[in-house]
Chains A and B, each alone.
Chain A
Amino acid sequence: MLKTPHGPNSKAAKTTRSLVMFSVGGRRLAAKVEEVGGVWPWTEAIPVPSGTAFVSAVVRRGEDVLPVFDLAGKLDLQVVGPAPLCLIAKRVDGPMAVRIDADIPTLHTIEETAIRTPASADPDLVGVCVIGTGEVPIYSLATLGRPFDQRGQSQGTASGSAGG
């Protein structure tokens, strides 16, 4: 009987993950492609009085009203570019709008083994990888900004689950 060192389901091919890379305030960031709901031109946000950290506005798209997560504010950055974009984050409790730089996001496929656990204690940061010439932090859009006790099973490193 032949033995396989890693069980019957192991594959010789390396597992890869698709990431969307975008920028906020000139800083490159990435997110799992399955957590990105789309990219639109940014439309004017309507301030909403709020005590929730980094959620204090909504944007409207037709009849839909999406809360805005101020990722730039969280990172202490300013969105740059004359025509910022709106990245839709597919958070577990509903989509959110995130204002990002005018640079068009790009799709990248990387090996999961290339994703490192981040050193930062930021609970939204789930991994770090190298894309091009530099390191890019990977953010969890599924749990972005959620209180730690509400993160549930969605929390984990970017390389923690397959199927990206």
Chain B
Amino acid sequence: MSLRGRAQIAPHAVSLRQFLVVACGKTRFALAADIVRGLAHPEETVTAVGKGPAMTDLAARFGLSRSPRAPQARIVFCGRREVHHAFLVDEVVGLTEVEVDRIRPLPSHFAGPERAWFTGLYVTQEAVVLVVDPGWLLDFYPTPPPPAVVNQSESGNRAPGLPGPTDVTAVPIELLNVEGIEQATDAEDTPWAEL
């Protein structure tokens, strides 16, 4: 059978944005991948040289009530230039690429400060994902908090629970003991990197 009749599929430029999708309770947030510097278990001792980011529960950053520590909780290190923060999330869903056209504005009914928090939202087969404005997320503090380095022994004596506001140190993602990232190959809604 000839393939001659087949229409030529012209490659069309699709503008994609890459996000790290995280969950806080039932709400999913998309963090621009280019501001994500690393991931860690909350209990993990992180020692590295660098700026000491403030630890914030991402839900609390948005004024949501904090829930008990989820078993899949992770720390997400975010940064840009001199500003670095660490956010506690209930779950890291995965890395994903989203066509820019699929990102729609927040409904106009949301008329408060949340319009500065989110640049929009997109839907997947199973969820609605809010796209967090990276500028707002990282502008939490007018000036970066002083760096703090936690050594192994201090951390080992700490009771399980939320680290203090300057309890952890940001490290590049490649230095972290991050669980294996597996590349998915199928549908657009499937995060291509499951954590």
* Minimum C-beta distance from A19 to chain B (A): 24
- List A residues 49-70 near B (Cβ within 8 Å): 49-52, 55, 58, 60, 63, 65-67, 69
| Residues of the A chain whose Cβ atoms lie less than 8 Å from the Cβ of B59 | 49
Number of A-B contacts (CB under 8 A): 61
A60 and B112 form a contact (CB under 8 A): no
The one of B25, B27, B117, B123 in contact with A60, judged by C-beta atoms closer than 8 angstroms, is B123
| Residues of the A chain whose Cβ atoms lie less than 8 Å from the Cβ of B123 | 60, 63, 65
Q: Determine the residue in chain B with the shortest Cβ distance to A69.
A: B109
The one of B26, B117, B121 in contact with A47, judged by C-beta atoms closer than 8 angstroms, is B26
B26 and A46 form a contact (CB under 8 A): yes
The one of A44, A49, A60, A96 in contact with B109, judged by C-beta atoms closer than 8 angstroms, is A96
Please tell me if B108 contacts chain A, counting CB pairs below 8 Å: yes
Please tell me if A90 contacts chain B, counting CB pairs below 8 Å: no
B111 and A52 form a contact (CB under 8 A): yes
Please tell me if B64 contacts chain A, counting CB pairs below 8 Å: yes
A50 and B25 form a contact (CB under 8 A): no
Size of A's binding interface in residues, CB under 8 A:
22
* A interface: dominant SS: strand
A55 and B109 form a contact (CB under 8 A): yes
Size of B's binding interface in residues, CB under 8 A:
22
Q: Determine the residue in chain A with the shortest Cβ distance to B122.
A: A65
Convert A13-48 into 0s and 1s, putting 1 for each residue whose CB lies closer than 8 angstroms to a CB of B. 000000000000000000000000000000010111
Which residues of A are at the interface with B, using a C-beta cutoff of 8 A? 44, 46-52, 55, 58, 60, 63, 65-67, 69, 91, 93-94, 96, 145, 147
* Minimum C-beta distance from B162 to chain A (A): 19
Which residues of B are at the interface with A, using a C-beta cutoff of 8 A? 25-27, 59, 62-64, 104, 107-114, 117, 121, 123, 127-128, 130
B110 and A48 form a contact (CB under 8 A): yes
| Residues of the B chain whose Cβ atoms lie less than 8 Å from the Cβ of A145 | 109
Most buried by A among B104, B108, B110, B128: B110
A94 and B107 form a contact (CB under 8 A): yes
Q: Determine the residue in chain B with the shortest Cβ distance to A58.
A: B128
- With contacts A60-B123, A65-B128 taken as known, whether A48 is within 8 angstroms of B27 at the C-beta atoms is yes
